[in-house]
């Protein structure tokens, strides 16, 4: 039977790396989306592991720490990219309350996530680097992969051959 770490590699790390091979960077949006959900699983796990509550604010603070950005940039990323991509498959520009969020742009040559102040503010990011950071965080703490009791890690169930005894 495969370990959670092996399954993480099979189901997430390898496919996310393969998406970079798609011409014209067309795998970037899928990478960004999946990286967001994997990061949130990581943030919840690390917060709980350090006896902290996994509130929205705590997850954003963890993001700021893990990605080396300030709280305002983390907040913009969470609202625009995490909430946008995971709820509607595109960056959110306005929420139900009418609040506006920064414009956003992805490019292969951005060195990190950055919130450029201006009119309008622009959130800049490079999806491959975000993916790499998320995978690196998991590589450092693979013990956390299967710690979520609300969303337990899946396993591969193999049916015994006909006539075999279980």
Domain boundaries, the chain: 4-100+128-144
Residue 159 reports pLDDT greater than 80: no
pTM, two decimal places: 0.91
Mean pLDDT of 121-136: 97
> What is the C-alpha to C-alpha distance for residues 100 and 114, in angstroms, rounded to an integer?
18
Quick one: pLDDT band at residue 161, thresholds 50, 70, 90?
Answer: low
Neighbours of 32 (CB within 10 A): 22
Mean pLDDT of 32-60: 97
Quick one: pLDDT band at residue 119, thresholds 50, 70, 90?
Answer: confident
Residue 158 reports pLDDT greater than 80: no
Which of 1-5, 113-117, 154-158 holds the top average pLDDT?
A: 113-117
CB 100 within 8 A of CB 76: no
Residue 154, exposed/middle/buried by CB under 10 A (0-12, 13-18, 19+)? exposed
């Amino acid at each position: 039977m495969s370990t959670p770490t092996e399954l993480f590699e099979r189901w997430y790390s390898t496919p996310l790396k393969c998406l970079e091979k798609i011409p014209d960077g067309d795998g970037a949006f899928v990478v960004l989306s999946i990286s967001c959900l994997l990061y949130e699983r990581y943030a919840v796990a690390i917060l709980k592991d350090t006896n902290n509550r996994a509130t929205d604010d705590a997850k954003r603070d963890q993001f700021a720490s893990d990605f080396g950005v300030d709280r305002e940039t983390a907040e913009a990323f969470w609202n625009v990219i995490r909430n946008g991509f995971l709820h509607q498959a595109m960056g959110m520009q306005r929420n139900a309350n009418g609040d506006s969020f920064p414009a956003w742009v992805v490019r292969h040559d951005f060195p990190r996530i950055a919130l450029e102040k201006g009119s309008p503010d622009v959130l800049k990011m490079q999806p491959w680097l975000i993916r790499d950071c998320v995978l690196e965080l998991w590589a450092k703490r693979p013990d956390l992969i299967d710690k979520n009791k609300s969303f337990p890690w899946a396993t591969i169930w193999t049916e015994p051959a006909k006539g075999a005894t279980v």
